[in-house]
Amino acid sequence: MNNDNEANDTNDNGDELHVRLPETERQELLRQRCKFEHERRMLLQERAQLLLERQRQLLLLEQARLLREQVEQRQPFQDDVDAEVVRAVRR
């Protein structure tokens, strides 16, 4: 009879088996809370990254607008310079 009990307590390698006990409701709740918090942190990080990317896109659009304005302001001056060069070459 002892041999039967020993067979139930050991695996093929002779090591003792550790049977996992079922989780209590409290353990399950804690595990679920940890999982929820991990997922929440991941979502917050993703949201922060998306917001940073959107902010970077808006900054690039603003820079493009400012550059366009600068080019538009210089264009009449450049046209005058070009006209003077053409007149000088024709003379």
Amino acid present at 70: Q
CA atoms within a 13 Å half-sphere pointing along the CA-CB vector of 66: 6
DSSP state at residue 14: S
The pLDDT of residue 6 is 45
* DSSP 3-state of 19: coil
One DSSP character per residue, 34-68 reads: HHHHHHHHHHHHHHHHHHHHHHHHHHHHHHHHHHH
Token couple for 24: 């209590």
- Please identify every stretch of the chain with a pLDDT value under 50, giving residue numbers as ranges: 1-11
pLDDT digit string, tens, across residues 16-32 = 655 666 768 888 888 89
| Percentage of the residues of the chain whose pLDDT score is greater than 70 | 75
